Copies of this chain bind each other. A is one copy, B any other.
Amino acid sequence: MTAKHISECHERIKPYVHNTAVLTSRLIDKEVEANLFFKCENFQRAGAYKMRGATNAILQLTDQQKKNGVVTHSSGNFAQALSLAAQSVGVIAHIVMPNTAPEVKKVGVREYGGKIYECEPTVEARQALADAIAVSTGATFIHPSNDENVILGQGTAAIELLQEQPDLDFIFCPIGGGGLIAGSALAVKYFGNSCEVLGGEPFEADDAYRSLISGKIEGNKTVNTIADGLKTTLGDKNFPIIKELVSDIIRVKEEEIIAAMRLVWERMKIIIEPSSAVTVAAVIRQSKENSKILQNKNVGIIISGGNVDLAKLPF
């Protein structure tokens, strides 16, 4: 995946996605003694950066593929994003969701015209049902994170952030399936200026941290985290990029995630989901434990999304 691929992807999806705002907070800057730039993908269409990769994947289909529709499995933001991206260009989206998925996410999918299929909440059941739908309908399977078109699309948020703040020293991303951080790392490689990419991950779902240490894709030992978007594991398409281009992964505790989420809600008056709070918590932890690394530096943070169930807040 070259600079040309990612630039072309950015041009391709521009008419379908928002160039989201970059916000700052004097108060949080003071707390971490650095200059933070929050790329607000919570303001993205369908409420998360996932819209970027989903749109790119849909736009790369052939006319015949578009006729046959697309299928994915996702309990969360990618389900909504693929539904909306598909709807935008008149393609049918088949969405496999675990029967434990929150009702609010199902409502979102339906609203964007996605066709929901429920299954048992296991990786195997999800993949099996998605495969069956692909066979019976001819729909193209699009993986939420382990797909080159998706990875390229997710990297465009970092491109926009770098266009607005070219002198970033660091960009922090959350790591779930690895699509966002892999795409961001490619964007930084081609368009950054001595910028490093760091990941934030919950201790309770630290597969990427352990994968970087062992050098191969590790599963999660637990997924007992509030950051529901980060329970998935890395894939064979994004892991090599992460291994090559990501400097470090900072793990954070559940109470740090909740405190960071509250801090941003209370001080910045924006709604970020727990997976995004992981990244903010990682910056705060890094500023405390390795203060010299971030001190007075320009730090970009990809706020990945704002899809929160208001009936189930942790505070």
Q: Which residues of B contact A40 (CB under 8 A)?
A: 269
Q: Which residues of B contact A272 (CB under 8 A)?
A: 269
- A43 pairs with B265, CB closer than 8 A: no
Q: For the complex, give the distance between the alpha carbons of A315 and B271 in Å.
A: 15
- A306 pairs with B269, CB closer than 8 A: yes
Q: Does A42 contact B (CB under 8 A)?
A: yes
Number of identical monomers bound together in the oligomeric complex: 2
Instruction: Write the A15-55 contact mask toward B (1 if CB under 8 angstroms, else 0).
Output: 00000010100000000000000001011000100000000
Which of A265, A269, A310, A315: most chain B CB closer than 10 A? A269
User: In which size bucket is the chain A interface?
Assistant: 10 to 19
In-complex Cβ contact of A269 among B43, B311, B315 (8 A): B43
- A310 pairs with B21, CB closer than 8 A: no
With A310-B315, A311-B315, A313-B313 in contact, do A269 and B271 touch (Cβ < 8 Å)? yes
Which of A40, A270, A315: most chain B CB closer than 10 A? A270
Which of A40, A42, A268: most chain B CB closer than 10 A? A268
In chain A, positions 145-179 with a C-beta closer than 8 Å to chain B are none
Q: Which residues of B contact A270 (CB under 8 A)?
A: 269-271
